């Protein structure tokens, strides 16, 4: 294998430092403005906590272990839901995309379902599966499934006919088309679907935890609201945001870099 150029992976140290600096500056500025604003406005700190309050709430959650319990519970549910959605949504989408009739039939149904996916199913989920773990995982799966299936279907439909013909004329058996052509060919759209779906799934997770769980980040901030602990609420919100950025940077971005970008396949916007 050819060595990856330094700028691609490791990067030059000064450049990386500068990037980190410019990433941090806005956050530091925001924290300073926040601190000054709370100080000068004289707002009640129970309503709008000071930066330091949030920091100590965070430390408290760390020490008591609540932070890890809740984060762990949320990530576990998210993981289960995402895996279930990948295993079901992508094959279903490929199946629909490879038949024009099936695609024409299911397209409006899927668009309808995408619009409703996730949060709107919480009443059903809790009614059918009871309050708790299963309902939350169901919501994450449901939020992602339709977006993933719909985009996969679009992706398969957009594979150039010539590519499918090329594969067939080189003797690709029908059952191998899925792995050899349809899946990689649809990947740009699958990634789009994954992005959209994960966004819905993450929101669905938080909402479902608020309503239907007894652990997890969504639950913890809602519980804090009942006790008027705004410091804990804001600490929880920051954790939710940071986790999402980690999911995006650690999972989605590398996936995109290694596949769609590496192969020079530009994603088609919806």
User: Under rule CB under 8 A, which residues in 191-230 are in contact with other proteins?
Assistant: 196, 199-200, 202-204, 206-207, 210-211, 217-218, 221-222, 224-225, 228, 230
Binding of other proteins at residue 175 (CB under 8 A)?
no
Residue from 13, 14, 27, 63 in contact with other proteins (CB under 8 A): 27
CB 159 within 8 A of CB 186: yes
Binder to other proteins among 123, 130, 132, 254 (CB under 8 A)?
A: 123
Site for other proteins in 126-145 (CB under 8 A): 126-128
Give the Cα separation of 118 and 5 in Å (integer).
Answer: 42
Contact pick of 58, 106, 138, 146 for other proteins (by CB under 8 A): 106
The whole-angstrom separation of Cα 267 and Cα 262 is: 12
Select the span of 34-42, 76-84, 86-94, 159-167 touching other proteins (CB under 8 A). 159-167
Residues sharing a CB contact under 8 Å with residue 225, sequence separation 6 or more, in sequence order: 233
**Beta carbon nearer to other proteins, 96 or 137:** 96
Give yes or no for residue 235 binding other proteins (CB under 8 A).
Answer: no
Minimum separation from the CB atom of position 10 to other proteins (A): 20
Q: Tell which positions 67-86 bind other proteins, by CB under 8 A.
A: none
Nearer to other proteins, 58 or 222 (CB): 222
92 binds other proteins (CB under 8 A): no
- 234 forms part of the interface with other proteins (CB under 8 A): yes
Query: What is the closest distance, in whole angstroms, from the C-beta atom of residue 86 to other proteins in the complex?
Result: 18
Does the protein bind other proteins through residue 238 (CB under 8 A)? yes
51 binds other proteins (CB under 8 A): no
Least distance in angstroms from the C-beta of 184 to other proteins = 4
236 lies in the binding site for other proteins (CB under 8 A): yes
Residue placing its CB nearer to other proteins in the complex, 98 or 137: 98
């Amino acid at each position: 294998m050819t060595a990856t150029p330094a700028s691609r992976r490791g990067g030059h140290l000064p450049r990386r430092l500068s990037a980190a600096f410019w990433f941090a500056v806005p956050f530091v500025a925001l924290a300073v403005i926040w601190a000054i604003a709370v100080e000068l406005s004289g707002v009640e700190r129970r309503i709008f906590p000071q930066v330091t309050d949030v920091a100590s709430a965070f430390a408290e959650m760390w020490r008591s272990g609540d932070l890890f319990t809740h984060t762990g519970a949320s990530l576990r549910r998210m993981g289960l839901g995402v895996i279930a959605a990948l295993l079901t949504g992508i094959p279903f989408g490929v199946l629909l995309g490879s038949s024009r009739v099936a695609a024409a039939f299911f397209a409006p149904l899927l668009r309808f379902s995408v619009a409703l996916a996730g949060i709107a199913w919480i009443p059903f989920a809790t009614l059918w599966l009871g309050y708790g773990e299963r309902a939350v995982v169901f919501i994450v799966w449901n939020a992602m499934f339709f977006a993933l299936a719909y985009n996969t279907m679009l992706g398969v439909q957009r594979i150039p006919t010539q590519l499918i013909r090329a594969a067939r004329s080189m003797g690709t058996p029908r059952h191998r088309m899925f792995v050899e052509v349809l899946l990689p060919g649809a990947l740009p759209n699958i990634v789009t679907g994954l992005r959209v779906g994960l966004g819905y799934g993450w929101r669905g997770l938080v909402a479902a935890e608020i309503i239907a769980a007894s652990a997890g980040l969504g639950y913890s901030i809602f519980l804090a609201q009942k006790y008027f602990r705004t410091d804990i609420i804001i600490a929880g919100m920051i954790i939710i945001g940071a986790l999402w950025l980690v999911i995006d940077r650690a999972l989605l971005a590398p996936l995109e870099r290694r596949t769609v970008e590496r192969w020079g396949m530009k994603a088609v916007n919806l």
